[in-house]
Copies of this chain bind each other. A is one copy, B any other.
């Protein structure tokens, strides 16, 4: 309970900081993302939110997810040509993609975290993030 309140406040502060209004829709979208594990698409979030806000528009969910990316509360997930998906986990981690069912699984690995940028792309390039993407078949599909 305390944790919930703290997060709500963190979100509150982040919005304030950026001059964004704290609307119920925006908060609901953030919370739906925050506790999701499935790296949802815009439509998946929209379907979930609709249960609480039957009158919310798809566009609001769409814009809000982009906004949440802009302020760094969620991240777009790298994908292979299907729908865009989002990740509430903004910390350093890596992804496994199932090539069959398109499931995306987070994993943590210190070796991967410690990778340094190769010197070849260093000069002129400003590096913002590095991550390892593993593809294969998940236990359900293999």
Docked-complex contact A132 and B134, CB < 8 angstroms? no
CA distance A21 to B117 in the complex (A): 43
Give the Cβ gap from A73 to chain B, nearest Cβ, in Å.
17
Chain A interface size range? 35 or more
| Chain A 71-99 interface mask (CB, 8 Å, partner B; 1/0) | 00000111111001100000000001001
Give the Cβ gap from A37 to chain B, nearest Cβ, in Å.
15
User: Inside 8 A of A131's CB, which chain B residues have their CB?
Assistant: 132-133
CA distance A80 to B76 in the complex (A): 6
Q: Known: A78-B79, A134-B130. Contact between A142 and B118, CB under 8 A?
A: no
Please give the residue numbers on chain A whose beta carbons come within 8 Å of chain B beta carbons, in ascending order. 76-81, 84-85, 96, 99, 105, 107-109, 111-112, 115, 117-118, 120-121, 124-139, 142
User: What 11 new A-B contacts, CB under 8 Å, besides A81-B84, A105-B121?
Assistant: A78-B78, A78-B79, A78-B133, A96-B125, A107-B120, A107-B121, A111-B115, A117-B134, A127-B134, A127-B135, A130-B134
